[in-house]
Amino acid sequence: MKKIIIYPGSFDPVTYGHLDIIERGLKICEQLIVAVSSNPLKRTLFSIEERVILLKEVTKKMKNVQVEKFDGLLVDFLKRKEARIVIRGLRAVSDFEYEFQMVLANRRLNESMETIFMMPSESYFYLSSSLIKELVALGADISGYTPKFVENELKRKIPYAQS
Ligand code: ADP
């Protein structure tokens, strides 16, 4: 059986930080599934379909990467995929508390699930989807933070304030 890793998240939108984690994850599995969450409690700029399209576009050259949307519990998605391993990115300390809670909550739901944390390259340590959305709104250059395709879609969504 193929060693599958699931990389869940909102990806609103995908950034170079996410791509960094995908590339690292690919080194330790045979197939990586990016699971785009449609959490109804989280308001997103891009719809679930748009987030999936953006991810598919920027990972199209990566062999062994699949992009899928999911709703409901992550443990149920894992079961459907016959997977056990989840990968998450760990940035500056801010991620730690939340990730710790998620691991424990998921473990209660499914004992056999394991989460692997990976640190991105230093350049992406403070990069988040929220940050790039804010920067676009202010008219700042975000070319080092996300691929051109995503940047263009962001600019279409957020008409920035010009002085
Ligand atoms: P969520 O809403 O699930 O936190 P995100 O899209 O914000 O979804 O993040 C998905 C995953 O990618 C999380 O594990 C997050 O820590 C990780 N991640 C996001 N940005 C970066 C980055 N710049 N470097 C490393 N990991 C990141």
Q: Is residue 42 annotated as part of the catalytic site, yes or no?
A: yes
CA distance 103 to 115: 7
**Domains (range + CATH), the chain:** 4-125 (3.40.50.620)
Is 88 annotated as belonging to a binding site? yes
| Residue 30: Cβ within 10 Å count | 11
Ligand 1 pocket residues where CB is under 6 Å = 9-11, 15, 17-18, 20-21, 88-89, 91, 95, 120, 124, 127-129
pLDDT-derived band at 163, boundaries 50, 70, 90: very low
Q: How much is the pTM? A: 0.95
For residues 128-160, one letter each, b for 16 or more C-beta atoms within 10 angstroms of the residue's C-beta and e for the rest, the string is bbeebbebbeeeeebeebbbeebbebbeeebee
Instruction: Please tell me which residue in 42, 60, 63, 148 is annotated as part of the active site.
Output: 42
Q: What is the pLDDT of residues 44-88, one digit of tens each?
A: 999 999 999 999 999 999 999 999 999 999 999 999 999 999 999
For the chain, strand residue ranges (E) read 4-9, 31-37, 65-70, 85-89, 114-118
Instruction: Please tell me which residue in 24, 79, 81, 91 is annotated as part of the active site.
Output: 91
- Residue to mutate (ligand 1; options 128, 133, 135; most atoms within 8 A of CB): 128
Q: What is the pLDDT of residues 90-147, one digit of tens each?
A: 998 878 889 999 999 999 999 999 999 999 999 999 999 999 999 999 999 999 999 9
Q: Is residue 121 annotated as part of the catalytic site, yes or no?
A: no
Q: What is the pLDDT of residues 10-47, one digit of tens each?
A: 999 999 999 999 999 999 999 999 999 998 888 999 99
Q: Is residue 18 annotated as part of the catalytic site, yes or no?
A: yes
Q: How far is the CA of 2 from the centre of ligand 1 (A)?
A: 25
CA distance 115 to 10: 17
